[in-house]
Amino acid sequence: MNTLSIYRFKQWLKEGESPLALTLFRIAKSIRHFELPTPRLINKVLYGLHKTLCTQWQAFTHLIFYVPAFKGRLESYGKRTLLYGGLPFFSGPLTMRIGNDCRISGQTTFSGRTNSDNPTLEVGNNVDICWQTTIAVGNKVIIGDNVRIAGQGFLCGYPGHPIDPTERALGKPELDSQVGDIILEQDVWLGSRVSIIGNVTVGEGTIVASGSVVTKSLPSFVLAAGNPAKVIKKLDVNALNTIKEEIRYEA
């Protein structure tokens, strides 16, 4: 029976009005939705077993494979590196350095511009880079200490294509004028799906709201939002410094 015949049979089974089609369809549904009548206690035990096995396997592969393999791609690295969800994807001639206590999702992409001399990504201490984040380094991207980048962030140091449609159709790379550095100073927090374009500095302690597109530099200790991102309000620097001092004292 070829693929077309199978498709037609399925359509007849789903849409047929004859007693035979209706009977066969009910039998197929009952087989498809068959369940074992397991007690609730057994269900909980099986789920606990599943979580335990998955957690132990993830810890094992993290320890003996993913972290060592990740460090093998780095120029330098600090202590207590944590990867979760696998190994990040690397593209291009990227030099990457990270500090201590960095937590990085395995569903992350790091790329370096092919036409740059030495595209470099510097990541400070105590930095979170969450799932499905992409960091495209044109020349330089610097991420300061205590920075938080939420899921699906995009740091675009180079676009990958020229503006001119003819050159783009010919597969030529972007122009040097389209490439820019990105600097996230310490304590910056980027919400989910924040995009940052090259030639931008985000000042210390600034928070960028989810879904924003940052096309110009932002000052320190402000809340910014929108497309393009604009300053919404200033943050209370004294309150932030008090919190930081309390954290240092408790540590």
User: Which residues have a catalytic role annotated?
Assistant: 161
Q: How far apart are CA 237 and CA 27, in angstroms?
A: 68
Q: How far apart are CA 111 and CA 94, in angstroms?
A: 6
Cα distance from N-terminal residue to C-terminal residue, the chain: 69
Buried residues in 13-36 as b, exposed as e (16+ CB within 10 A):
eeeeeeeeeeeeeeeeeeeeeeee
* CA-closest candidate to residue 196, choices 239, 170, 244, 159: 159
8 A C-beta contact, residue 129 and residue 141: no
Structure tokens at 211: 């879904």
8 A C-beta contact, residue 172 and residue 162: yes
> Which letter does DSSP use for residue 172 in this model?
P
